[in-house]
Chains A and B, each alone.
Chain A
Amino acid sequence: MCENCGCGATGEDTIGISAGHESREHGHEHEHGHDHAHEHGPGAHHGHSHEATHSHAHSPEAADSDPSLAEARRTVEVRRAILDKNDRLAERNRGFFRARGLLVLNVLSAPGSGKTAFLRETVRALAPQLKAGVIVGDLATDNDAQRLRETGAPVVQITTGTVCHLEARMVARAVSQLDLAGLGLLLIENVGNLVCPAAYDLGEDLRVVLLSVTEGEDKPLKYPPMFQAADIVVTSKIDLAEACGYDRDLALSNLRRIASRARVFETSARTGLGMDQWRSFLLAQCAERKTRDPLGPE
Chain B
Amino acid sequence: MQDALSLALDHARQAGARQVLVIRLRVGALSGVVPDALQFAFEALAPGTLAEKAELAIEPVPARFWCAECRGEFASDDLFAECPGCHRPSGELRAGRELEVASLEIE
Give chain A nearest CB distance to B22 CB in angstroms: 9
In the complex where A6-B41, A35-B10, A260-B90 touch, is A1 in contact with B3 (Cβ < 8 A)? yes
Are A62 and B91 interface neighbours, CB within 8 A?
no
Which residues of A (48-92) have their CB < 8 Å from a CB of B?
A: 56-60, 62-64, 69-85
If A78-B100, A78-B104 are given as contacts, then 9 extra A-B residue pairs at C-beta distance below 8 Å, sorted by A number, are: A4-B33, A73-B107, A76-B11, A76-B17, A76-B104, A79-B100, A79-B101, A83-B3, A196-B32
Which residues of A (18-62) have their CB < 8 Å from a CB of B?
A: 35, 38, 40-41, 43-44, 56-60, 62
In the complex where A80-B100, A81-B99, A224-B30 touch, is A73 in contact with B106 (Cβ < 8 A)? yes
Interface residue B49 (Cβ < 8 Å from any Cβ of A): no
A56 neighbours in B (Cβ, 8 Å): 16
Taking a contact as CB atoms closer than 8 A, the residue among A1, A63, A224 that contacts B1 in the complex is: A1
B53 neighbours in A (Cβ, 8 Å): none
Give chain A nearest CB distance to B91 CB in angstroms: 4
Question: Can you offer 10 A-B residue contacts whose CB atoms are under 8 A?
Answer: A4-B31, A6-B37, A38-B14, A74-B107, A81-B100, A85-B3, A198-B32, A228-B93, A256-B89, A259-B91
Are B16 and A3 interface neighbours, CB within 8 A?
no
Q: Is the interface of A mostly helix, strand, loop or mixed?
A: mixed
Give chain B nearest CB distance to A117 CB in angstroms: 27
Are A78 and B107 interface neighbours, CB within 8 A?
no
Complex: chain B residue closest to A77, CB-CB: B103
Q: Is the interface of B mostly helix, strand, loop or mixed?
A: mixed
Give chain A nearest CB distance to B27 CB in angstroms: 9
B41 neighbours in A (Cβ, 8 Å): 1, 6
Q: 1/0 per residue A229-242: CB within 8 Å of B? A: 00000000000000
Complex: chain A residue closest to B42, CB-CB: A6
In the complex where A78-B11, A258-B80 touch, is A3 in contact with B107 (Cβ < 8 A)? no
Give chain A nearest CB distance to B44 CB in angstroms: 8
B16 neighbours in A (Cβ, 8 Å): 56-60, 62-63, 69
Complex Cα–Cα for A43 and B24 (A): 13
Interface residue A147 (Cβ < 8 Å from any Cβ of B): no
Are A195 and B32 interface neighbours, CB within 8 A?
yes
Candidate in B32, B100, B101, B103 with the most chain A CB atoms within 10 angstroms: B32
Interface residue A248 (Cβ < 8 Å from any Cβ of B): no
A-B contacts at CB below 8 angstroms, number: 137
Interface residue B34 (Cβ < 8 Å from any Cβ of A): yes
Complex Cα–Cα for A3 and B35 (A): 10
Complex: chain A residue closest to B26, CB-CB: A79
Interface residue A243 (Cβ < 8 Å from any Cβ of B): no
Complex Cα–Cα for A1 and B4 (A): 10
Complex Cα–Cα for A57 and B14 (A): 7
Interface residue A5 (Cβ < 8 Å from any Cβ of B): yes
B100 neighbours in A (Cβ, 8 Å): 78-82
Are B103 and A79 interface neighbours, CB within 8 A?
yes
In the complex where A57-B15, A195-B32, A257-B80 touch, is A78 in contact with B99 (Cβ < 8 A)? no
Are B89 and A74 interface neighbours, CB within 8 A?
no
A85 neighbours in B (Cβ, 8 Å): 3
Q: 1/0 per residue A122-137: CB within 8 Å of B? A: 0000000000000000
Complex: chain B residue closest to A53, CB-CB: B16
A84 neighbours in B (Cβ, 8 Å): 7
Are B99 and A72 interface neighbours, CB within 8 A?
no
In the complex where A60-B13, A76-B11, A224-B30 touch, is A3 in contact with B105 (Cβ < 8 A)? no
Candidate in A71, A80, A221, A256 with the most chain B CB atoms within 10 angstroms: A80
